[in-house]
């Protein structure tokens, strides 16, 4: 139980948007100093796991691990016998009540982390490498055959992995900055820093350490979409805002299907005739504010 409220699981993509949120972001930031390094090196024990309590309530939400299995191969010609890691991997795993984003090599600085991303609470393998024993020809003996290392975080020096947890009916978004290295005889994971937004259902930027920049206030309330539901055409009314804005529209898988930049205008016209029926996320971001709106397309 988290503060007497359970983190409830869900098997589907969360598409509930922040329609009425007005609170300023409150970013709780932790610099892991010195950096925590998890490693497995040839013929040595692996270091321990790293447990992350994202919202500092005394309950660990995520477990980051470096793992390896050993393969023993006997003498094969002049090579001699060796032991090499099999299934070398850096694995981030969620507890049964936590969420972790399904990413491809992490996200870049200032990526918006919110409900529009694709989320999964399955164990997430960052990178892996397999080593197998193959019989010598002619026998006896065997030797090691290495498969190429693979995975979305293959030798990533420092990207951001989105995280979120659920407390009751609310979601809290955060990130962790990681580096991953892998070779024939080692795997290591470096943990640099992490943060989360303590305001429920509010987004956070990857790498964000202060409240500047992510807020849904009067800027959000001044923006209007019509018609909504839409068919072939959508108008995005920007109210009195005259700042430069970036507008993106994403489907429920997080795939961006429309993007544009506008300035000194009070409305944008979008041709939605090629949009499939369904629910979309419209995100409008300026230098100081961000707003997200739900769009329904009906044909």
Longest dimension (CA), the chain: 80
Give every CB contact of residue 102 below 8 A, 6+ residues apart in sequence: 118, 119, 120, 122, 124
Q: Are strands 142-146 and 245-251 parallel, antiparallel or unpaired?
A: unpaired
Give every CB contact of residue 297 below 8 A, 6+ residues apart in sequence: 229, 230, 231, 272, 275, 276, 277, 278, 279, 280
Mean pLDDT over residues 53-78, rounded? Answer: 73
Question: What share of the chain in percent tops pLDDT 70?
Answer: 73
Mean pLDDT over residues 6-15, rounded? Answer: 25
- Residues 71-95 pLDDT 10s: 566 655 554 444 443 455 667 776 6
pLDDT at 228 over 60: yes
Q: Tell me which of 158 and 290 has the higher pLDDT.
A: 158
Q: Tell me which of 189 and 136 has the higher pLDDT.
A: 189
Check residue 74 and give its pLDDT: 60
User: For the purposes of burial, counting CB atoms within 10 Å of the CB of 16, is it exposed (0-12), middle (13-18) or buried (19 or more)?
Assistant: exposed
The CATH class of 218-297 is mainly beta
Check residue 8 and give its pLDDT: 24
8 A C-beta contact, residue 293 and residue 17: yes
Check residue 254 and give its pLDDT: 67
- Residues 174-209 pLDDT 10s: 999 998 888 777 788 899 999 998 888 888 888 888
Q: Are strands 142-146 and 131-135 parallel, antiparallel or unpaired?
A: antiparallel
Check residue 253 and give its pLDDT: 65
Q: Report the SS3 class of residue 250.
A: strand
Q: Report the SS3 class of residue 77.
A: helix
Tokens matching residue 270:
């979008």
Q: Tell me which of 50 and 140 has the higher pLDDT.
A: 50
Tokens matching residue 239:
């109210």
Check residue 73 and give its pLDDT: 64
Q: Where in the chain is the domain with CATH 2.60.40.3080?
A: 218-297
Cis bond leading into 155, ω under 30°?
A: no
Q: State the average pLDDT for the chain.
A: 75
8 A C-beta contact, residue 212 and residue 197: no
Distance (Å, whole) CA 162 – CA 138: 51
Check residue 35 and give its pLDDT: 92
- Residues 256-297 pLDDT 10s: 899 998 887 888 999 999 999 988 888 887 766 677 778 889
How confident is residue 227, by pLDDT bands cut at 50, 70 and 90?
very high
């Amino acid at each position: 139980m988290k503060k007497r409220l359970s983190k409830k699981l869900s098997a589907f993509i969360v598409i509930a948007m922040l329609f009425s949120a007005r609170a300023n972001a409150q970013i709780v930031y932790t610099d892991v100093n010195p950096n925590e390094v998890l490693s497995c090196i040839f013929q040595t024990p692996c270091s321990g796991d790293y447990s992350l309590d994202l919202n500092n309530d005394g309950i660990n939400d995520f477990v980051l691990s470096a793992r390896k299995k050993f393969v023993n191969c006997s003498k094969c010609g002049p090579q001699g016998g060796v032991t090499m890691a099999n299934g070398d991997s850096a694995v981030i795993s969620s507890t049964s009540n936590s969420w972790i984003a399904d990413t491809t090599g992490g996200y870049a600085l200032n990526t918006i982390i919110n409900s529009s991303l694709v989320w999964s609470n399955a164990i997430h393998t960052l990178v892996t490498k397999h080593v197998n024993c193959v019989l010598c020809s002619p026998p006896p003996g065997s030797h090691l055959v290495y498969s190429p290392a693979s995975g979305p975080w293959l030798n990533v020096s420092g990207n951001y992995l989105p995280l979120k947890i659920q407390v009751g009916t609310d979601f809290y978004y955060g990130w962790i900055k990681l580096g991953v290295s892998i070779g024939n005889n080692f795997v290591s994971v470096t943990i640099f820093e992490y943060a989360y937004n303590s305001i429920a259902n509010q987004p956070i930027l990857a790498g964000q350490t202060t409240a500047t920049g992510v807020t849904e206030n009067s800027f959000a309330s001044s923006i209007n979409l019509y018609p909504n539901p839409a068919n072939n055409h959508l108008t995005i009314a920007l109210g009195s805002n005259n700042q430069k804005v970036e507008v993106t529209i994403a489907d429920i898988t997080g795939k961006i299907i429309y993007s544009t930049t506008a300035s000194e205008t009070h409305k944008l016209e979008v041709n939605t005739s090629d949009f499939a029926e369904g629910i979309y996320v419209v995100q409008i971001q300026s230098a100081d504010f961000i707003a997200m709106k739900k769009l329904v397309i009906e044909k």
